[in-house]
Chains A and B, each alone.
Chain A
Amino acid sequence: MHPILKLLVQRIALGLLLLLAVSAVIFLGVEALPGDTAQQILGQSATPEALANLREKLGLNDPPLTRYFAWLGGVLTGDLGTALTNGVDIADAIGQRLGNTLFLAGCAAVIAVPLAILLGLVAARYAGRWPDKVISGITLTTISLPEFVAAYFVIFVLTQLIPVFQPVAMVFPGMSFWAKLNAVALPVIVLVLVVLAHMMRMTRAAILNVMQSAYIETAELKGLSPMTVIWRHAFPNAIAPVVSVVMLNLAYLVVGVVVVEVVFGYNALGQYLVDHVTKRDLPVVQAVGLIFAAVYIFLNMLADIIGILANPRLRHPK
């Protein structure tokens, strides 16, 4: 077997194992939350009879291990079960929300990733001079703002001062693509501001690191322009660290944007998860947790694989 193929198979197998472990951890974590599902669903107005009935109905009296394996079996056969709180099929509910999550993350990534890399290249080219300082200064400012502050700021400027967008960014099936883009404009701007700095700084650092190498000096001595040196010789060798940071940020865009979702009323997975954590809706929390974990594991695996493929020493082992 080709060593790269072997490496890939190993990575994927490890990823799956990790996912299984994560499912157990999620289950344990939810079990350890204070309060029980029935009480959370019925809230302050719960009567003891209603509580007992609901516990019985939800099967909360079974031992945890039984419930875990029953659930795991369901997941493997594609059945995520129904939400305890409102009896909706979880797979259906998640489907649309996951689509919205990916749409928002995709829009933000399409803008943020090329922009961050471009800015990183420019900053590396003019390292220590004013373009570098301006780029770093601005992106570090935007990353230092808490997301909700950035969000309120954007709402204030772009819906009140200059009313070009709507503050509530819900998208629905049946909306045209352009209407959807218009709706998510504000959260996309906020997310771009939030993820830009990390990727930009990493690109800059990785390239500056490579710039110390002897072959860069050779390229410069050949008479290549500084931008060509960076693009042709430095950047290809800096891809691995940049890709892993890009993937981390992509994962963040999928799983970590609940605050932005709440502020803009965006109907995606994060808000859905939080609602169900509050109500101790175990099956939903587990399903969404598993999806989030899968996204993280998959993107990190992808970063590893690209890193391996981008590394000539790994591609051509002796």
Chain B
Amino acid sequence: MNDKHNQLDWMVSQAKSGRMSRREFIGRTTALGVSAGLASALFSKAALAQAKKGGVLRAGMQGGESTNTLDPALAASEVPFAVNMTWGEMLVDVAPDNTIDYRIAEEISSNADATEWKFKIRAGVEFHDGKTVTAEDVVATLKRHTDEKSQSGALGIVQGISEMTAEGDMVTLKLSSGNADLPYLMADYHLVIQPGGGLDNPAAGIGAGAYKVKVNEPGVRHVFERHANYWDAANGAHADEVEIIVINDNTARTAALQSGQIHMMNRVDPKIVELLKGVDGITIEHAPGRGHYVFIMHVDKPPFDNNDLRMALKLAINRQEMVDKILGGLGARGNDFPINAAYPMFDDTIPQREYDAALAAEHYKKSGHDGSPIILRAAPGAFPGAVDAANLFSASANAAGIPLQVKLEPDDGYWSNVWNVEPFCASYWGGRPVQDQMYSTAYLSTADWNDTKFKNAKFDELLVAARAELDTEKRKGMYSEMAHILRDEGGLILPMFNDWVEARRAEVAGWNPDPNGELMNGKALLKCWLA
């Protein structure tokens, strides 16, 4: 035991002095029996010791438009997400190992049935305009997102809160029904705490985050300078200034990284990952996330109202081929329910569904389908490689005797004319921090975005019961049962979970992959420094 400690100490000191890479550190510490999550956290802490302050750190990102705004409620694409994370601070964050990282809230407690939650507000956290963050600011912020006029992307999260009160440094939230995951929901990137709730000017860009907004040119660039009184300066805000440059073109973004115009980039095209690996001074970073690519069937419309036909299609897709060819190997096979090991309480004993042409043909025959073409709609923008994936699907299904045909749709108008309208199409989900939120968002009978029109009373019942269940083992069992129902009866075909694939230059230090979102869940600019 003592020997192990000595070895661990030695490795930590190596990491502190920068003589050991993260990969090596984690490899060697896990060999000593340290968990991977702990090893990663240990390394980050050790490496932080040599964090350098100063300089300008730049990220080149896809996913910004000149239509973007600083109103955090309206953020919907990648750049506004990263911008929110740079200037904003939420009540809590979700750490890479899936634990709660306390930010503006320093303590959270609940009553026994998870219907009443208390958030203790950290003292001395300062907004960019010099005001101190109070419990009233927090309540005003949440209230604004509850108001439908704010068009908040977090409306679905906050609308279950029936009462909010601020008293001293304590915020109390009462829920209409119990929710054991509430702290995780408060980490949503729309829920940036703003002074006075941001009611005067929601797009002012004033928050309590590490950086102040200096230049805001939507669709072009966002420049930030360090917030002098940032409360958590020991763990972030290393660079004097950080910049997000919007470069939507893949080739230009990659070229900018190679030439040093930017230090890091999101969304590396899987097709060029192998090529980039050979380039001096460039490191590919990838983190298994919760995002997934899907083909969705409306279970209430023929021919997809027949479970045998749905099962035939689920068996007729070659998942490994998709991971290899569409994701370039940077991802994992899906199993027709939207949960993977990145979620707490994931049941890893559920058998993996494989491509089985014979069994698919059997189910297809049993479904009594008349043999007319089954149309799958896809557009290039449904997810990267969506059209190729649809064609692979069609080929493997045809091999099983299922007349699956791909219809190419334009990107323009895809989300209003095809998705959620046509009975069978390609789509994607970014994933949510907890199982409850993912299921409540898209698979509950009454969910707004129930894009498979899946309605199952037993499933709904389990979902609501699991939400208020504080016993983890029981809860895990409920989630497992729900996964089985969805996998065997749902309209969801989930061939693959995609990794976040990013690249950085060698001079960027402090990188720590985060399954919660791309570019270290939007915090790469805060947490990294220029070595």
Seen from chain A, the residues whose Cβ lies within 8 Å of a Cβ on chain B are 33-36, 39-45, 47-50, 53-54, 57, 83, 85-88, 93, 152, 155-156, 159-160, 163, 166-168, 170, 172, 262-265, 267, 271-272, 275-279, 281
Stretch of B215-223, B385-393, B394-402 with 4 or more beta carbons under 8 angstroms from chain A: B215-223
B66 within 8 A of A: yes
Kindly provide the distance from the CB of A34 to the nearest chain B CB, expressed in whole angstroms: 4
Complex contacts, B255 vs chain A, CB 8 Å: 155-156, 159-160, 167
Of B155, B219, B221, B419, the contact of A50 (CB 8 Å cutoff): B155
Which residues of B (172-221) have their CB < 8 Å from a CB of A? 203, 215, 217-221
A50 pairs with B261, CB closer than 8 A: no
4 pairs of A and B residues whose beta carbons are closest in the complex: A35-B416, A86-B69, A85-B67, A35-B413
**Which one, B203, B218, B251, B261, contacts A263 given CB within 8 A?**
B251
Select which of B77, B217, B256, B419 is within 8 A of A166 by beta carbon: B256
Q: Tell whether, in the assembled complex, residue B249 and residue A47 are in contact, meaning their CB atoms are under 8 Å apart.
A: no
Complex Cα distance, B246 from A34, in Å, reads: 27
Chain B residues near A50: list those with CB within 8 A: 148, 151, 155
Min CB distance B498 to A, Å, is 16
Contacts of B221 in A (CB 8 A): 170, 172
Q: Is the CB of B155 within 8 A of A152?
A: no
A279 lies within 8 A of B151 (CB): no
Give CA–CA (A87, B66) in the complex, Å: 11
**Looking at chain B, what size class is its interface with the partner chain?**
35 or more
Question: A residues within 8 A CB of B256?
Answer: 166-168, 265
Complex-state Cα separation, A163 to B256, whole angstroms: 11
A168-B245, A265-B252, A278-B65 are contacts. A43–B259 as well, Cβ < 8 Å?
Answer: no
Q: Say yes or no: is B448 at the interface (Cβ < 8 Å to chain A).
A: yes
Cα–Cα, bound, A50→B19 (Å): 52
Asked if B259 and A166 make an inter-chain contact with CB atoms under 8 angstroms apart, the answer reads: yes
23 residue pairs bridging A and B, Cβ less than 8 Å apart: A34-B417, A35-B412, A35-B416, A36-B416, A39-B415, A40-B413, A40-B415, A43-B77, A43-B415, A44-B449, A53-B148, A85-B67, A87-B69, A160-B255, A167-B252, A170-B245, A172-B217, A265-B245, A265-B252, A267-B217, A278-B412, A279-B65, A281-B67
Evaluate contact between B416 and A34: CB separation under 8 angstroms: yes
Q: Are A47 and B69 in contact (CB-based, < 8 A)? A: no
Q: Which residue of A lies closest to B220 (CB)?
A: A267
- Does B98 make an interface contact (CB < 8 A)? no
Q: Tell me, yes or no, whether B48 is within 8 Å of chain A by CB.
A: no
Contact call A168/B219, Cβ cutoff below 8 A: no
Judging by beta carbons under 8 Å apart, are B149 and A53 in contact?
yes
Check B281 for interface membership: any CB of A closer than 8 A.
Answer: no
Known contacts A45-B449, A83-B67: does B419 contact A34 (CB below 8 Å)? Answer: no
User: Is A168 a contact partner of B252 (Cβ separation < 8 A)?
Assistant: yes
| Contact yes or no, A262 B248, CB < 8 A | yes
- For residue B13, CB closer than 8 A to chain A, the reply is no
Instruction: List B contacts of A83 (CB < 8 A).
Output: 67
Are B449 and A271 closer than 8 Å at their CB atoms?
no
Distance of A167 Cα from B255 Cα, bound (Å):
6
**B76 interface contact, C-beta 8 A:** yes
Is the Cβ of A39 less than 8 Å from the Cβ of B247?
Answer: no
Q: How far is the CB of B344 from chain A (nearest CB, A)?
A: 23
Residues A163 and B252 in contact, CB atoms below 8 Å apart: no
Q: Check A85–B151 contact: CB distance below 8 A.
A: no
> Least Cβ distance of B57 to chain A in Å?
16
Could you say which residues of chain B place their CB within 8 Å of the CB of A88?
A: 69, 218
Nearest Cβ on chain B to A269's Cβ, whole angstroms: 10
Q: Are A40 and B416 in contact (CB under 8 A)?
A: yes
Given A35-B417, A167-B261, A168-B60 in contact, is the A47-B156 Cβ separation under 8 Å? yes
Instruction: Answer yes or no: B30 CB below 8 A from chain A CBs.
Output: no
In the complex, chain B residues whose CB is within 8 Å of the CB of A265: 220, 245-249, 252, 256
Query: Are A155's CB and B448's CB within 8 A?
Result: no
A43 proximity list for chain B (CB < 8 A) = 76-77, 415
Q: How far is the CA of A313 from the CA of B219 in the complex (A)?
A: 52
